[in-house]
Amino acid sequence: MKPVPELRTETMTINMGPQHPSTHGVLRLVLTLDGEVVQSADVTVGYLHTGIEKTAEQKKWQQVVPLVERMDYLDAQSNSLSYALSVEKLLALEIPARVQDIRVLIAELQRIASHLVWLGTHAMELGAVSVMLYCFRERELLLNINELVAGFRLFPSYIRVGGLREDLPRGFHEAVTAFLDGFPPKLDEYEDLLTKNEIFVSRTQRVGVVTLQDALGWGLVGPIARASGSTYDVRKAFPYLTYPSYDFNVPSAPDGDVYARYQVRIQEMRESVRICRQALQRVTPSGAWAAADPRVVPPPKDKVYTEMEALIQHFLIYSQGFTVPAGEAYVPVEGARGEHGVYIVSDGTNRPWRIKMRPPSFLACQALSSVIAGSMIADVIAVIGSSDVVMGDVDR
Amino acid sequence: MDAPDIIAALNPLVPGVSYEAASTPDCATVYVPVVGLVRTCGALRDSLGFEVLVELTAVDYLPRTPRFEVVYHLLSIANRRRVRLKVRVEAGDGVPTVQGVWPSAGWPEREVWDMFGIPFDGHPDLRRILMPEEWEGHPLRKDYPVQIRKATDTYEPLQVTEEAFRANIERDRFTRTKPS
Site from B29, B57, B114, B140 to mutate, A interface, most A CB atoms within 10 angstroms: B57
Nearest Cβ partner of B102 from A51, A86, A217? A217
- Chain B CB contacts of A337 under 8 Å are none
Q: Count H helices and E strands in chain B, helices first.
A: 4, 7
Min mean pLDDT across A315-329, B58-72, B145-159 is at B145-159
Q: Indicate the fold that domain B3-140 takes in CATH.
A: Beta Polymerase; domain 2 (3.30.460)
Q: Does B108 touch chain A (CB under 8 A)?
A: yes
Model confidence at A1, pLDDT cuts 50, 70, 90, reads low
* Cβ–Cβ below 8 Å for B140 and A365: no
Question: Chain B residue closest to A218 (CA)?
Answer: B104
Q: Which of A238, A121, A99, A120 is nearest to A186 (CA)?
A: A120
Domain boundaries, chain B: 3-140
Beta-carbon pairs below 8 A across chains A and B: 92
Higher pLDDT, A72 or B156: A72
Q: What is the pLDDT of residues A149-195, one digit of tens each?
A: 988 888 998 999 988 988 899 999 999 999 999 999 999 999 988 88
Model confidence at B174, pLDDT cuts 50, 70, 90, reads low
Q: Does A353 touch chain B (CB under 8 A)?
A: yes
pTM score, whole prediction: 0.89
* Cβ–Cβ below 8 Å for A49 and B82: no
Per the document, the length of chain B is: 180
Residue B25's SS3 state is coil
User: Minimal Cα–Cα distance from A129 to chain B, Å?
Assistant: 33
Min mean pLDDT across A139-148, A245-254, A330-339, B147-156 is at B147-156
pLDDT (mean) for A107-131: 91
**Is residue B135 within 8 Å of residue B128, measured between CB atoms?**
yes
Nearest Cβ partner of B129 from A46, A345, A354? A46
Taking the C-alpha atoms of residue A329 and residue A323, their distance in angstroms, rounded to an integer, is 15
Q: Which residues, 6 or more positions from A201, have their beta carbon under 8 angstroms from its beta carbon?
A: A195, A259
Model confidence at A107, pLDDT cuts 50, 70, 90, reads very high
H or E element, residue A212:
helix A212-217
Min mean pLDDT across A131-140, A203-212, A248-257, B20-29 is at B20-29
Write down all domains in chain A, each with its CATH number in brackets.
Answer: 53-395 (1.10.645.10)
The pLDDT of residue B177: 58
CA distances from A211 to A166, A225, A236 (A): 45, 8, 22
- Chain A CB contacts of B130 under 8 Å are 45-46, 49, 395-396
The pLDDT of residue B145: 85
Q: Which of A183, A177, A185 is nearest to A281 (CA)?
A: A177
**Is residue B118 within 8 Å of residue B70, measured between CB atoms?**
yes
Q: What is the pLDDT of residues B85-138, one digit of tens each?
A: 999 999 888 999 999 899 999 999 999 999 999 999 998 888 889 988 888 889
Model confidence at A23, pLDDT cuts 50, 70, 90, reads confident
Model confidence at A2, pLDDT cuts 50, 70, 90, reads confident
* Cβ–Cβ below 8 Å for A356 and B55: yes
